[in-house]
Amino acid sequence: MDKFKNKYRIPSARASWWNYARKGVYFITICTVGREHLFGEIINSQMVLSEIGKIVQQEWNKSFEIRAELFCDAFIIMPNHIHAIVRIDSPEVTHGQSSRQDHAPKRPLTKKHGVAYRPAKSISSFVAGFKAAAKIRINEYRNTPGQPVWQTRFHDHIIRNEVEYYQIKNYIETNPSTWENDKFFN
What φ, ψ does residue 125 adopt, rounded to 5°? -70, -35
Domain coordinates in residue numbering, the chain = 20-90+118-180
Q: Are the CB atoms for 57 and 42 separated by under 8 Å?
A: no
Task: For 123-175, write each residue's pLDDT tens digit.
Answer: 888 999 999 999 999 999 999 998 999 998 888 888 989 999 999 999 999 99
What pLDDT does residue 108 have? 39
**What residues in the chain have per-residue pLDDT under 50?**
17, 92-118
Q: Report the alpha-carbon distance of residue 70 to residue 120 in Å, rounded.
A: 12
Residue 185 is which amino acid? F
Alpha helices in 22-122 (DSSP H): 51-66
**H/E run at residue 169:** helix 162-174
What pLDDT does residue 170 have? 96
Q: Which CATH number applies to 20-90+118-180: 3.30.70.1290, 1.10.357.10, 3.40.50.300, 3.90.1150.10? A: 3.30.70.1290
What pLDDT does residue 5 have? 59
Residue 53 is which amino acid? G
What pLDDT does residue 182 have? 72
Full-model pTM: 0.76
Query: How many C-beta atoms surround the C-beta of residue 85 within 10 A?
Result: 20
Q: Report the alpha-carbon distance of residue 143 to residue 118 in Å, rounded.
A: 29
